[in-house]
Amino acid sequence: MGYSYDIKVSLPREEAPANGFPVYYMLDGNSYFQLGRDVVKLQSRNAPKTLIAPGIVIGIGHYGTDEEVSKRRFFDFTPPAKQYVYPDRLKNADIGPHGGAEKFQSFLELELMPLVSEKYNVDQQKQVLFGHSLSGLFVLWTLFTRAELFQYYLASSPSIWWNDHEILVYAEQFYNKGQAIRYDKRKLLITVGSEEAFMVDDAKVLFSKLSEHSLPDLQVEHYIAPDENHASVVPTIMSRAFRMLNR
């Protein structure tokens, strides 16, 4: 990548089950690793009720100032495109280079995930990718382009707006391809806060489009968190998102 990531790991104290531990890959680990770690640690103490079993939590964070992190996020989490259309709020903003999602996806597939599987006892059928906002966009794009990489895709307030809603094109291509390619037990959860204005509408549009199609091995759910905004929604939806592994 020509870049160093801040990788944090939380391991269960329990002995691993026969198939290994589920693993949660948390994008924007600077912000969400600790929250994901604590949800798993606390709720796995009573897994029969919480439906959250002991698991490995991997935080994938960025180094640098807020501005440096913001620019790197735009590079890592946005798909490549021949041209980009920017909303008015970004037209005069310096967001740095973008379109590096393929490279970042390769880093996950070829470097990070094999290393995690080598070092820890991982259940290869319970690997989760979680992202919020721009990293939520990356979660969707990874499902639509490389669904085999993870079994569970958790997209919180995804930036569906990026590049004039281009992710909707990827969704359509995914379903056209998916008619011939079966994916075993893939799940997607799209969440958004009710106070997120246009992002609520975007999430509804995407869910509606996904619901028009029917792939037998892909389960899609949509949840709007009442009274939550873009900054507050993640703590509200985290437990619901992680429970998806055992629903």
Q: Considering 132, 159, 196, 228, which one is annotated as catalytic?
A: 196
* Closest alpha carbon to 62 in 106, 100, 8, 12: 8
What are the structure tokens assigned to 212, written together? 């028009």
What are the structure tokens assigned to 217, written together? 């091995």
Q: Considering 133, 135, 156, 157, which one is annotated as catalytic?
A: 133
pLDDT tens readout for residues 118-175: 999 999 999 999 999 999 999 999 999 999 999 999 999 999 999 999 999 999 999 8
> Rounded CA gap, 52 and 22, in Å?
10
- How many Cβ atoms sit within 10 Å of the Cβ of residue 47? 12
Phi-psi label, residue 227: left if phi above 0, alpha if psi -120 to 50, beta otherwise: left
State the average pLDDT over residues 33-55: 95
> Rounded CA gap, 35 and 41, in Å?
10
Mean pLDDT of the chain: 93
- Parse the chain into domains and list their residue ranges: 6-246
Residue 237 and residue 156 in contact, taking contact as beta carbons nearer than 8 Å: yes
The pLDDT of residue 177 is 78
Q: Is the pLDDT of residue 34 over 70?
A: yes
Q: Name the residue type at position 22.
A: P
State the average pLDDT over residues 51-62: 96
The pLDDT of residue 86 is 87
Tell me whether residue 62 is one of the annotated catalytic residues: no
Q: Considering 165, 213, 222, 230, which one is annotated as catalytic?
A: 230
Extended strands (E) in the chain: 6-10, 21-27, 56-61, 122-132, 152-156, 186-193, 218-225
The pLDDT of residue 218 is 87
Between β-strands 56-61 and 186-193, what pairing exists: parallel, antiparallel or unpaired?
unpaired
The model's pTM is 0.95
> Rounded CA gap, 202 and 163, in Å?
13
What are the structure tokens assigned to 121, written together? 């006892």
Give the helix, strand, coil percentages of the chain, each rounded to 5.
45, 20, 30
> Which distant-in-sequence residues (6+ apart) come within 8 Å of 166 by Cβ?
79, 81
Tell me whether residue 133 is one of the annotated catalytic residues: yes
Topology of domain 6-246, per CATH?
A: Rossmann fold (3.40.50)
The pLDDT of residue 212 is 85
* Closest alpha carbon to 229 in 86, 132, 111, 108: 132
